[in-house]
Structure 1
Amino acid sequence: MPLPRTLRTLLAIPLSLALLGLAPAGSQAPAPPTSDATLALLVTRGKAPAAALLAREESGSRFARAGHGIARADHFRAGSITKTFIATVVLQLADEHRLSLSDSVDAHLPGLVRGAGNDGRRLTLRALLTHTSGLHDFTADTGGTVPVTPLQAVRIALTHPPADRGRFAYSNTNYVLLGMVVHQVTGHSYAAEAERRIITPLRLKGTSFPGARSSLPSPHGRAYTADGSDVTDLDPRVAGAAGELVTTLDDLDRFYAALLGGELLPPSGLREMLNTKAAHGSYGMGLFPVTLPCGTTVWGHNGRISGSYVRTAATVDGRRVLTFRVNTDGISEPDLEPALLAAEFCPRTP
């Protein structure tokens, strides 16, 4: 669920590219490896049991996998990619004038955010969306393994003093609160609203919010922690609105292509989503940018939850999308992720 080390490891891209056999400029080296070839390193060097990617562009899609235990149609837990869905719903409600991003949290959840120096009267929905609220991340206490209700998650966070408001500090508590705001504004759960507004219109047949259901829909493979424990069955309430989603590779590619292509938000809402000013360039609203060595900037999100790590990245127009996943908590060599993105989105020259 926490934002992984993608942004920090960008600084290590030159090293990771060297590890992959790319020679410095001007040398007579072979063409750099493709993203399909780089994917295999997630298993051999990254020590994932299995890995898979699905790349989508206007001319079609391309599937690749490494290791054993992952199929294209598999359902899996997407962790914090859930946040892009929640942010989209909130921005749609803003477009409908049912809420404003400048609203205080207290305006929708009166009296809830109080304690240890936290005050919902001084926090806006924009601060929740951009992770600039300063609210403590409840999963730092639960380890992301203890099922909790939204109210319990918030109460755990409120036992800690806030970080500096206005500074980017990734916190799952922000999106748990946004899920509660959606319920308060609409009278329906965030899951029901996301299904009505996103999942059904886009025909994302493999995507769901499982609630308390611990089993994955069929088909699915197995999911493992870093120590090899099987955690395929998992109570999604460990994450809630911050990371509950179950989905497929095809559905994630379709969702991000539609979102960035303007199918889910009006231009003004999409501009809000891509505006990283509040988070000082680190995060928009449910999306974050990464600028690759070739100068291309990709937008998307990642998700880590026990037994699963997923990353989706796309060009800003949504015409080219890549989703990859491993069936474990993470990748032991985080440099491989930015190397994979560069291999996919940067032009290949011999």
Structure 2
Amino acid sequence: MSCDTGSTRPVEARSGLMATRSWARTGAVGIAAAAVAASAFTAPAAAHGDGRGHEGTQRALDGIVRAGIPGVTGQVSDKHGVWKGASGVGNLRTGAPRGKDDRFRIASITKTFVATVLLQQENEGLLRLDDKVERWLPGLVRGNGHDGRDITVRQLLNHTSGVFDYLGDPDYQRDYMFAPNYMKNRLKDRTPRAAVAVAMKHAPTFRPGTGYSYSNTNYVLAALVMEKAGGRSYEREVRTRIIKPLGLRGTVMPGTTSRLPDPSSRSYSKLSPEPTATKVYDVTLQNGSQSWADGDMISSAADLNRFLKALLGGEVLPAKQLKAMKTLVPDPDDPATGYGLGLAKFNTTCGVELWGHSGGWLGSLSLAVTTEDGGHALSYNLNGDWTGEGMAEVVEAEFCGQRPPARGTGKQSYADPRGTALR
């Protein structure tokens, strides 16, 4: 993460408050200073179609713990059923193991839920993707070159709006992301419009529609549009349209609450932009309003798999809207991948194409992906944020049965669709 106060770029992940551009390309950002007693808790492996079980996936989860993260939990859902795996600890003080059914903060995976609701609203004629933001939020997106009259809803959802990412503001970072101020401020309420106001203090990254830059402000604005178009709160829209119909019993809209519901593990961060930082903080308690629709939701690996399988399987959106969601802004480093409307495309080294989203915030790094037909899904979470080392190996082990090749020896794209933004 960069604290370059002279830059308007979204915050970078040099320290380990991780937002790696590509896990496979960047490798580790830092290693935990405290020793963690890692042990695996392996479920019986279900057989894959090629006769391979999930032993490699479990070994990859163990590898994340060896790289310095306290604990990791994950689940797979495929034609053979459900497999659960965990490794390491969920509580550094007590040594309690990481739970296989843990709930956790999913950070930017929230964006897939938000985009899905807006696409449902479009199907119902409540809004159009090419509506100008000004129509729904008159006068809100103004200042330092920002103008909601030139930005569409679609551009919010695929990050081509050019709107500055409020997480890149150095004052915001100091007060709400780094120690010691984070520990003082983490339970405070924050309104969505306050986040927009932070962004409006800066110039746009580019003119709308002329580039791509991941901005959490886009999804704050998108959810405000959602509320105007539907006449209901963002939380209620997501609950009634997605959580309840799909039976996502482990998924929570936290609002202004600060606790993780049980079952869950503790969350840890170094709260520092310095890669050499060693002190680890327990950041489990966080006011959900400080993320809101750009990354506030709490869920489980089981629920994320269920959601993605239903979404890609055509159970949540009509074909027209799902096609729009999968229409990509290409990744310049790998044009075969990219970011759609709250949904990213990932490539594996063995040619399996995956769809989903990653999420990273203080104390939590997650990935949720599925094959295009929704038939094979994987979701997992780390309860520490200072390194993403080993995350690519989990995907490769599950979908390819192998570790990714050494950096520079093959094409691999586990691009974090957040670009360089934290969430």
TM-score by length of 1: 0.89
Give the residue type in structure 2 aligned to 1:153.
Answer: A
Name the SS of the counterpart of 2:245 in structure 1: coil
Pick closer, same or farther for the CA change 1:203–1:107 going to 2, 3 Å: same
- Is the 8 Å Cα contact of residues 55 and 323 (structure 1) preserved in structure 2? yes
Is 1:107 matched with 2:135? yes
**How far did 1:256 drift?**
0.7
What residue is the counterpart of 1:265 in the other structure? 317
Give the residue type in structure 1 aligned to 2:316.
Answer: L
What residue is the counterpart of 2:232 in the other structure? 188
What residue is the counterpart of 2:62 in the other structure? 40
Q: Distance in 2 between matches of 1:37 and 1:180?
A: 42
Q: Distance in 2 between matches of 1:257 and 1:348?
A: 23
- Is the 8 Å Cα contact of residues 113 and 238 (structure 2) preserved in structure 1? yes
**How far did 1:282 drift?**
2.3
**How far did 1:198 drift?**
0.2
- Is the 8 Å Cα contact of residues 135 and 163 (structure 1) preserved in structure 2? yes
What residue is the counterpart of 1:234 in the other structure? 286
Q: Deviations over 1:59-108 (max 9, x none)?
A: 20111111122212222111111000000000000111110000000011
Pick closer, same or farther for the CA change 1:332–1:252 going to 2, 3 Å: closer
**How far did 1:2 drift?**
7.7
Q: Deviations over 1:211-238 (max 9, x none)?
A: 0000111222111113421111111122
Q: Distance in 2 between matches of 1:194 and 1:32?
A: 33
What residue is the counterpart of 1:55 in the other structure? 76
Q: Distance in 1 between matches of 2:203 and 2:11?
A: 19
Is 1:244 matched with 2:296? yes
Pick closer, same or farther for the CA change 1:57–1:37 going to 2, 3 Å: same
Name the SS of the counterpart of 1:92 in structure 2: helix
Is 1:338 matched with 2:357? no
Is 1:163 matched with 2:219? no
Give the residue type in structure 2 aligned to 1:339.
Answer: E
Name the SS of the counterpart of 1:200 in structure 2: helix
Question: Following superposition of structure 1 onto structure 2, how do residues 68-217 of structure 1 map, counting pairs within 5 Å?
Answer: 68-69=89-90, 70-141=98-169, 142-143=172-173, 145=177, 147-164=189-206, 165-166=208-209, 167-217=211-261
- Is the 8 Å Cα contact of residues 2 and 172 (structure 1) preserved in structure 2? no
Q: Deviations over 1:280-317 (max 9, x none)?
A: 75211111111111111111111112111111111011
| CA RMSD across the alignment | 2.2
Gaps of 5+ in 2: 1-9, 13-17, 28-52, 91-97, 178-184, 271-278, 404-423
Q: Percent identity?
A: 38
Q: Distance in 2 between matches of 1:218 and 1:2?
A: 32
